[in-house]
Amino acid sequence: MAQSRDGENPFIRPGKLDNPFQDPAVIQHQPSPQYATLDVYNPFETRESSRKLSPTEPKNYGSYSTQASAAAATAELLKKPEELNRKAEELDWRERELQHAALGGTAARQNNWPPLPSFCPVQPCFFQDISMEIPQEFQKTVSTMYYLWMCSTLALLLNFLACLASFCVETSNGSGFGLSILWVLLFTPCSFVCWYRPMYKAFRSNSSFNFFVFFFIFFVQDVLFVLQAIGIPGWGFSGWISALVVLKTNTAVAVLMLLVALLFTGIAVLGIVMLKRIHSLYRRTSVSFQKAQQEFAAGVSPQPRGANCCCQRSRWRCRKCLPSPISPGRDALALPLEGAQLAPIPEGSGAW
């Protein structure tokens, strides 16, 4: 083969370069100040940002989700002290209840209601201590119902005075005056015994039967509150109608009766609100109509929580003292019980 002219390499194709790094595709990727390669990158070099925020462009202080999560975390931290205080109060209440139960339960407590002087021949009939016997979350409700009962009693006394004034002005109102005396003597003790005490015992011992008794009787009481506010003439109630009738005869007596009617109206509204609130609390508890039937059939109300705890502790201690059941067909171990040895149970005897 003839030697190629001018000493050219016969293995190189025409149009190809000898140095592969002279390829334009490689040359355009050589290090330059625009690219942060290892050869030209200087970590200590201070460069101004290529992009500056415009004066009208808002700064980014964090996304909305980040701010919302921070606000939620702050609210959670604020709720923790309140929850801890509530749990501490509940633990104090349970500790006091256990102490009273250890001293003998409700039987050893001295009755303190109604608060009568010691020289009075009639002694208190009930024991009442809302801060000790009622759980923390229900104390406000029970206290409100107690104040409602006291307001209803005060309204009946004022109603008696208003009916007396009306009788003095108009002698034909004698029947209303007589009935007002009857309502004071009848409704004051009966309302306390028939609907306040069942409500008190229902929240104290979580009694389904007492809840149902309260709902039935207090509904009737709310109807009576509404009738008292209306004030039908001759019924012994100084309501709105009776006050407007007396207004034609004597203005001073009518004003007194209007105040009593206003008090009756407020009591009726508060009674309806409290009935709805207690019903909502009742639905959150574990009471039911089946439990009420069981309590009525048993004839006894459920024990307080402290007494239940004491009974559970007593049963647990008894189980520790007594031997465990032994299945038939297996020799019994000699278990000490008050210094005596138990004999092995013969197979097939059917013991335990």
Domain limits, the chain: 135-284
Question: Largest alpha-carbon pair distance within the chain?
Answer: 157
Q: Is this model's pTM higher than 0.75 or not?
A: no
Q: String of b and e for 146-162 (b: at least 16 CB within 10 Å)?
A: bebbebbbebbebbbeb
Residue 346: the pLDDT is: 47
Q: What is the pLDDT of residue 338?
A: 41
Closest CA to 203 of 134, 287, 289: 134
Cα dihedral value 264, 265, 266, 272, nearest 10? 110
What is the Cα–Cα distance from 347 to 336, expressed in whole angstroms? 21
Cβ atoms of 266 and 239 within 8 Å: the answer is no
* Average pLDDT along the chain: 75
What average pLDDT score do residues 6-10 get? 57
Residue 173: band (very low, low, confident or very high) from pLDDT cuts 50, 70, 90:
confident
How confident is the model over 232-242, as pLDDT tens digits? 999 999 999 99
Instruction: For residue 131, give every residue at least 6 positions away whose Cβ sits within 8 Å of its Cβ, in sequence order, or none.
Output: 93, 139
Higher pLDDT, 328 or 60: 60
| Higher-scoring residue by pLDDT: 231, 46 | 231
